[in-house]
Amino acid sequence: MRYALLIAVAFSVVLSAQTSPLSNDARAQFHGPYSQPEEAFRLIGNIYYVGAKNIASYLIVTPQGNVLIDTGTTEMTSVIKA
């Protein structure tokens, strides 16, 4: 019984390793609706919402430097940099 379980686990690991990564077009289709730009706004104190409509990214501004929490998707780069 142990060997059957071990073989099943090994087989599933091998199969999952064979999946191909998403193409840029497929990634854009999936992330597109979630990465719609949203104007940045101040939440409280030195914490700002700089994400998209459905993906939250937060910027904490300090004198020592800024901290970005959850960078989001690649499509959100221009929104976050602004």
58 belongs to a structural domain: yes
**Tens-place pLDDT, residues 18-57:** 556 667 676 666 666 677 778 889 999 999 988 787 788 8
70 belongs to a structural domain: yes
pLDDT number for residue 47: 93
- DSSP annotation string for the chain: -HHHHHHHHHHHHHHHHTPPPPPHHHHHHHHGGGG-B---EEEETTEEE--BSSS--EEEEETTEEEEE----GGGHHHHH-
pLDDT number for residue 82: 67
The tally of domains found in the chain comes to: 1
Residue 77: domain span:
33-82
Residue in the block written with tokens 């497929």: 26
pLDDT number for residue 31: 64
The C-alpha angle 35, 37, 41, rounded to 5 degrees, equals 120
pLDDT number for residue 7: 79
69 belongs to a structural domain: yes
pLDDT of residue 73 exceeding 90, the answer is no
56 belongs to a structural domain: yes
